[in-house]
């Protein structure tokens, strides 16, 4: 497989984790903080409040991170996991109020053989 094939916009995947967790009690806030902290530790970055993204070089790699997120699921609340191609992610239009803003820069991928 060539470098071009490995970094193809249809092969590179984005994993989005969307969540709505309760934070009314001390224990719920602790579960929320733990879940968020573990997402960040696994390489996810905040896209918006309660939406975290991670770029993966392949579907197989994305599946590894999806399994990790599933192991982190808190006992209460709603969590959604969405996986889309880099091409689909790149077509997103972003706005702050009514003004367009630039998309997130593409992360640098480092592969070790």
Residues of the domain holding 8: 3-100
- Residue 73 belongs to domain with CATH number: 3.30.70.240
Within a domain: 64: yes
CB atoms within 10 A of CB 78: 10
Measured distance CA(62)–CA(109) in Å, rounded = 13
Within a domain: 55: yes
Q: What is the pTM of this model?
A: 0.80
Within a domain: 108: no
Please give the mean pLDDT across all residues of the chain.
87
Within a domain: 111: no
Within a domain: 107: no
- Is residue 15 predicted with pLDDT exceeding 60? yes
Confidence category of residue 113, pLDDT binned at 50, 70, 90: very low
**Number of structural domains, the chain?**
1
Task: For residues 95-103, give the mean pLDDT.
Answer: 79
Within a domain: 113: no
| Cα four-point dihedral sign 33, 39, 45, 50 | negative
Within a domain: 106: no
- Is residue 21 predicted with pLDDT exceeding 90? yes
Task: For residues 44-71, give the mean pLDDT.
Answer: 96
């Amino acid at each position: 497989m060539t470098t071009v094939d490995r970094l193809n916009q249809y092969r590179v995947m984005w994993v989005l984790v969307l969540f709505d967790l309760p934070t009314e009690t001390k224990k719920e806030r602790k579960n929320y903080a733990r879940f968020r902290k573990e997402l960040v530790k696994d390489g996810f970055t905040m896209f918006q409040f309660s939406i975290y993204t991670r770029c993966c070089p392949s579907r197989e790699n994305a599946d590894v991170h999806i399994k990790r997120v599933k192991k982190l699921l808190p006992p209460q609340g709603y969590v959604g996991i969405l996986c889309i191609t880099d091409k689909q992610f790149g077509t997103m239009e972003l706005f702050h109020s009514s003004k367009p803003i630039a998309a997130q820069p593409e992360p640098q991928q480092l592969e070790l053989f």
